[in-house]
Amino acid sequence: RLLLIFLTLASAVVPSLAMKSLPAQDVWAVLPLVNTNVIQGGRWAYPDEDGADIVRTRVKISDLALLPPPLLVEEGFEISRVGNDIKLPEPSDFQTSSPGVPWGEQPRPLKWFADQFSWRIDPIPVKSRPMRVDKEHNLITLSCSGELLRGATSEGGAKTGNARWPPTFNVHVDQDLSGSPLTTYSSLLPVLFQNTPLTLYNIWIALNDEQVRPLALRDRRYVKDGDLAAWQEETFDIPSDRFVATNSSLGGWYYKSEMKRGDAFVFLTGETPHTSFGRPEAGDGIRYSVELRCVGFLFPKGNYVAAFLTAIWVVTSC
C-alpha cells in the first residue's frame, strides 16, 4: 500500500518537474542583431552570421500578460486562441517520424490544418473562392497555407520526430512584400499590397505548454529608419526577400509568458520583427509549435464596409 501511494504521488510530481511554471514578468534577453556598420545601401549584402556582422545585444522584453492586449492593426501583432472547432494535432503526430526517411521527405501530418483553420468566421462565396470575415480581428481572410512544424529546445531544434524544423534564432521580418517570391507569382501583388488593404499575416500556434525559447515580437510603431536591412536567402530552394533587424532595434519588444497549447500569435508577415529567445530558467524541454501564413485584408476599425467592398473588387478582378 505504501508503494502504491508513493507511485501515485510520484506520477503527480514528475510532470510538474518536467514542465516548469514561470511567473509573469518582464525579462532581459540577448538577441543576435546585425551590426549597422556592415549595412551597405540599406542591405545586408554579404551575410556573415558567425562573425563580426552580428552584435549580441541585450534588450528588455516586456510580458504581455501584464499589459493591455495588443492589436494587429496597431502594434502589428496580437494574441488569440484557436477556436474549439479546430482540431489541433496530437503529440503523436509530431513526435514520431518514419524510420529511414529523410526529414525533407517526411509526411506532413498538418497538411490538412490550414484547410480547417478559422477564427470563428463565416464563408462568403465570391467567384467560388471562400472569403472568411472576422470583425473581431479586423480581417477578411482569403486562404492560409504553408504550415511549418517546429520543435524548439534550449540549444536549437528537436533531434527526433516530425517537428525538427528549428526555431528561428536571427531577428527578422519574414517577407519583403515588394520582393521575391511574391513578384515571381505576379507583378501585380506588390501594387496591391501597397495600395489596398491586402496583406500577409502569420499565425503562430503553441502545440504544448513548454516555455523553452518563447517568441518575441517588436511593436512595428517602434521601427525607425536603420532598424531593418534588406536581405535575401533561399527557403525551400526559393529565393526569398526579407529583412533582418540591426543593433539599433531597441525598445518595443514583447513576449507572452505561459503560452498554452492552442494559444496563438497573429502578426504581420511584412512588418513585424520577431525571433525566439533563450530562457535558461525554462529548463530542457521541447516547445512544439506550428506556423501558418495567410493572405487577406486588414482593415482599420470603423472602415469595415470600405475594406469589404475593396476585398470583393480585388478578388473578383484578379
pLDDT tens digits, one per residue of 250-270: 999 999 998 999 899 999 999
Give just the sign of the alpha carbon dihedral 301, 306, 311, 312: positive
Q: What is the pLDDT of residues 145-170, one digit of tens each?
A: 766 778 888 877 776 666 666 667 78
Residue with grid cell 472568411, as numbered in its chain? 132
Q: What percentage of the chain has pLDDT greater than the value 70?
A: 69
First to last CA, the chain: 72
Q: How far apart are CA 64 and CA 35, in angstroms?
A: 28
Q: In this structure, what C-alpha cell is assigned to residue 297?
A: 485584408
**Grid coordinates of 60:** 528588455
pLDDT at 317 over 80: no
- Position with higher pLDDT, 92 vs 26: 26
CA 278 to chain centre: 16
Q: Give the pLDDT of residue 158.
A: 72
The neighbour count for residue 98, using CB atoms within 10 Å, is: 10
CB atoms within 10 A of CB 96: 13
Does residue 18 have a pLDDT over 60? no
pLDDT at 265: 92
pTM of the predicted model over 0.75: yes
Higher pLDDT, 76 or 131: 76
- Mean pLDDT, residues 69-97 taken together: 80
CA distance 181 to 238: 7
Contact present, 202 and 217 (Cβ < 8 Å): no
The one-letter code for the residue type at 224 is K
